[in-house]
Amino acid sequence: MDDLGRTPARVSTGTLPGRDDVERLVDDAYRYGLASRDGEIATYIPRLAQADPELFGVSVAEVDGAVHTAGDADAVFSIQSISKAFVYALVCEELGHETVRERVGVNNTGLAFNSVVAIELNDGHPMNPMVNAGAIATTALVPAASAEERWARIQHGLSAFAGRRLELDGEVYTSEADTNQRNRAIGTLLQAYGRIDADPLAAVDVYTRQCSLLVSAADLAVMGATLADGGVNPVTGERVVSPAVARDTLAVLASTGLYERSGEWLFEIGLPGKSGVAGGIVTISPGKGGIGVFSPRLDSAGNSVRGQRATRFLSRALGLDVFASEAHEHGPYPYTREMGSA
């Protein structure tokens, strides 16, 4: 262990406003998001094209276990790419920081989430767990003797994050499995580069299943709050992952969670987050809580339009942006310094 590892880790977190204020602001965020009618529903997965475009839910889960909701926060939808963040956390818990960093990576590709070119440009390295190549490689790393055992472990782990058993949407799974030729090609390419040891097509199938788990905006808020609370689910009290793994997951989300739009997301929201093509977004404020939003209308990058508006509102109204600060109210300075002096 290096010298840094011997130094006790300290955290920098704050507190949310009172519960009544949070409740009011969640309602305000819902109304603010509802004003937008922009965006289009995803159609490249046939089952998602059937979503009700008017559904919209907002939820905030605090690290003390309080959950606030507005709108259709209990409506269920498939978790899709948001699952990547939580499977990554589970694998980090099993295999450790360095192993997962070496096998999967943490850097943004700057390319589309399903890019094959990114793999070729980086000598077969998936680069990060939030793009499809990295997510498939991460899923393949879940310790298991078979694909069915791997799936069972993932379903159990994501359910622990949500605080309830998450069920598979069979229709979404079938719809995706019938149209995921590109992901199958990515899996096979990763195997050719020696980046995954498991059967690539079986790994893609498990990945497709994890994306088809049903969640609600309230579930996403609790899942996010679990990462915000150092890996402990604030509703059930169950430790799901360690504080170090929660920290690693949030670091990766901050840099890659919104794919090639991650920089814009940090600029506007100032928090780690992850979106899914069904219209969900989870956002995490370390030490404070999680935000879950759902609305199927997406922008050109595949991110919920209303969800982004509501999250931006809450980030500012609740004081969550990790980059925001105000000048400290200084009293008399303990010393003066002449201009130009050393």
The more confident residue out of 190 and 276 is: 276
Separation CA 163–CA 186 (nearest Å)? 32
77-102 tens-digit pLDDT: 999 999 999 999 999 999 887 777 67
> Is the model's pLDDT at 169 over the cut of 60?
yes
Separation CA 223–CA 305 (nearest Å)? 21
Sign of the alpha-carbon torsion through 241, 163, 230, 320: positive
Cross-strand pairs, 168: 213
Mean pLDDT score of the chain, rounded to an integer? 87
Mean pLDDT of 159-185: 95
The more confident residue out of 322 and 73 is: 73
229-243 tens-digit pLDDT: 999 999 999 999 999
**Residue ranges of the domains in the chain?**
14-317
The three-state secondary structure class of 265 is helix
> Right CATH number for 14-317 from 3.40.710.10, 3.20.20.150, 3.40.50.300, 3.30.230.10?
3.40.710.10
Q: What is the 3-state secondary structure (H, E, C) of 106-138?
A: CCCCCCCCCCCHHHHHCCCCCCCCCCHHHHHHH
283-294 tens-digit pLDDT: 999 999 999 999
